[in-house]
């Protein structure tokens, strides 16, 4: 495969790599902590890293549309499971381990369901954005509640990190691929940069 001819796609691929490295670092550090909560967050960041690295390949290299579509299958599965685990981790902080364990198989099934929907209706990235919006709004409500009730150390950082994630999703939804926002950064490249800031804020909340 050859490097993609579009500078916008190449920049998007590079930012995907950096986001993947950041998510992988967070997953590694969190996995060193004991407990079910740490496992949930480690898997959340780990799956995000997988989708980011695969996204770098999908954006960064010339390939047939058929190959690209097949590459997006594991990306969509990883993203679907990432959001499902994010909700479960939020439920852990909101209601405890028992609630999270009950919700885990349900949200994993929702993540797989999202993946199956993308197989049925390929190329509908707005579906992912809608799924992400629902998950992030729920998590924002959970951590906003915990922050105002002073029930969890780091809840404020987590809430701000989720707000930044929502902002990143809005940038991606309202922009246009292949149209520069800053230099060769299109909506996807800017999304990755803003999302990396969100990941840092989430990390600060988890280690607070």
Residue 18, pLDDT score: 98
* Contact partners, residue 96, CB within 8 Å, separation at least 6: none
State pLDDT tens for residues 14-67. 999 999 999 999 999 999 988 999 999 999 999 999 999 999 999 999 999 999
In the predicted structure, residue 174 carries a pLDDT above the cut 90: no
pLDDT at 1: 61
- Per-domain boundaries in the chain: 7-207
Summarised one tens digit per residue, pLDDT across range 80-110 is: 999 999 999 999 999 999 999 999 999 999 9
According to the model, what pLDDT value does residue 123 have?
Answer: 65
What local confidence, expressed as pLDDT, does residue 124 receive? Answer: 62
Q: CA–CA distance from 30 to each of 43, 62, 63, 185 (Å)?
A: 9, 35, 35, 31
**DSSP state letter for 117:** H
112-171 pLDDT, tens digit each: 999 999 888 876 677 878 898 899 999 999 999 999 999 999 999 999 999 999 999 998
- Are the beta carbons of 128 and 114 closer than 8 angstroms? yes
At residue 93, the pLDDT reads 97
Give the model confidence (pLDDT) of 3-18 as tens digits: 888 999 999 999 999 9
Q: At what angle do helices 65-95 and 125-148 cross, to 10 degrees?
A: 20
């Amino acid at each position: 495969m050859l490097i993609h001819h579009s500078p916008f796609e190449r920049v998007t691929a590079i930012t995907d790599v950096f986001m993947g490295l950041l998510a992988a670092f967070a997953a590694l550090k969190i996995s060193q902590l004991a407990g079910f909560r740490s496992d949930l967050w480690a898997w959340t960041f780990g799956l995000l890293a997988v989708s980011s690295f695969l996204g770098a390949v999908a954006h960064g290299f010339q390939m047939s549309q058929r190959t690209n579509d097949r590459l997006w299958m594991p990306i969509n599965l990883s993203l679907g499971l990432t959001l499902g685990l994010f909700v479960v981790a939020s439920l852990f902080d909101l209601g405890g381990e028992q609630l999270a364990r009950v919700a885990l198989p349900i949200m994993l099934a929702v993540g797989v369901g999202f993946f199956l929907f993308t197989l049925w209706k390929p190329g509908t990235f707005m579906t992912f954005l809608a799924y992400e919006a629902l998950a992030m709004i729920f998590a924002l409500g959970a951590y906003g509640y915990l922050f105002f009730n002073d029930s969890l150390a780091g809840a404020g950082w987590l809430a701000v990190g989720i707000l930044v994630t929502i902002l990143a999703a809005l940038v991606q939804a309202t922009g246009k691929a292949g149209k520069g926002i800053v230099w060769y950064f299109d909506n996807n490249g800017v999304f990755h940069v803003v999302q990396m800031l969100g990941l840092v804020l989430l990390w600060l909340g988890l280690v607070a």
